[in-house]
Amino acid sequence: MKNKTGAPDNLDKNDIKIETIALLSDIADLSTTLYAERKHSVLILLQGIDGSGKDGITKDVFGAISASFLRYHAFKKPSDEEMAHDFLWRAHNFVPQKGEITIFNRSYYEDILIQYVHGWIDDKRRDVRMEAINAFEKLLDADNNTTVLKFFLNIGYEKQEEKLTERVNVRKKQWKHSDGDWEERKLWDKYQTAYQYILDNSKIKWTTVPCDNDWYRNYVVAKELHKTLTDLNPKYPELVSKIFKK
């Protein structure tokens, strides 16, 4: 995978931060209108390896949206009940209702990433699951006006080591540390190949987010979300009242 992981050299960090603030202000207003109108919804997938910034984006970008309009779900190791069903069963219950924006921290793509990398599924099962995911995302769009907005958080190998090392050495970040993250890091090349597969085979395209610089990472996500909400063009509904007339 050859996608650039850092910010372009010609950008001014302060200018981008100022633009991001303006985008977030608009996003707050647009998300309110989206919720009031209740005709559309947005499902946001944050997919990336350990240390790529999923929690940071949730705080820095989606913190601008009122909690009343926002849902959040983190995909962790499946429970026994979830493992007893098809792999998409645990996802469907958490997709957004009309008017809502829902964030998936990791997602159903884990079932063709980690499971494939570790050899728990073969090429055939991976391909079948990819087809099912494409159909699932099409269903969300066609049947519930849900826009699926997918962000691949692309962090560099050296930058990931820096982030994981901070979780060892910085007291306030130690709660994030997991020995398992370092074990998964040993499979870096396999994960890069697996991510390239989903980028190449998804019907709904991914936004690749360079994540080595937090300020640029936040800007890319905010800009794409802003464009999506603007294109949906939500409108406040007309007053419905038996007491008050126009």
Q: How far is CA 213 from the centre of its chain?
A: 17
**Side chain identity at residue 22, one-letter code:** A
**Average of per-residue pLDDT values in the chain:** 95
d(CA 165, CA 175): 12
Q: What token pair was written down for 192?
A: 């890069």
The pLDDT of residue 155 is above 80: yes
Domain architecture of the chain: domains with CATH: 13-157+187-232 (3.40.50.300)
Average pLDDT over residues 156-175: 94
Give the DSSP letter string of 167-232.
Answer: HHH-GGGGGG--HHHHHHHTTHHHHHHHHHHHHHH-SSPEEEEE-SSHHHHHHHHHHHHHHHHHHH
d(CA 123, CA 242): 60
Q: What token pair was written down for 246?
A: 């126009």
* Nearest alpha-carbon partner for 115 in 187, 203, 50: 187
Residue 198 pLDDT: 97
The pLDDT of residue 238 is above 80: yes
* Nearest alpha-carbon partner for 43 in 141, 153, 152: 141
pLDDT digits (tens, 9 = 90+) for 105-143: 999 999 999 999 999 999 999 999 999 999 999 999 999
Residue 26 pLDDT: 97
Confidence of residue 241 (pLDDT cuts 50, 70, 90): confident
The pLDDT of residue 96 is above 90: yes
Residue 95 pLDDT: 97
pLDDT digits (tens, 9 = 90+) for 3-48: 789 999 999 999 999 999 999 999 999 999 999 999 999 999 999 9
d(CA 210, CA 224): 13
Beta strands in the chain (DSSP E): 41-48, 70-74, 101-105, 146-154, 206-210
Q: How far apart are the first and last CA of the chain?
A: 59
pLDDT digits (tens, 9 = 90+) for 215-228: 999 999 999 999 99
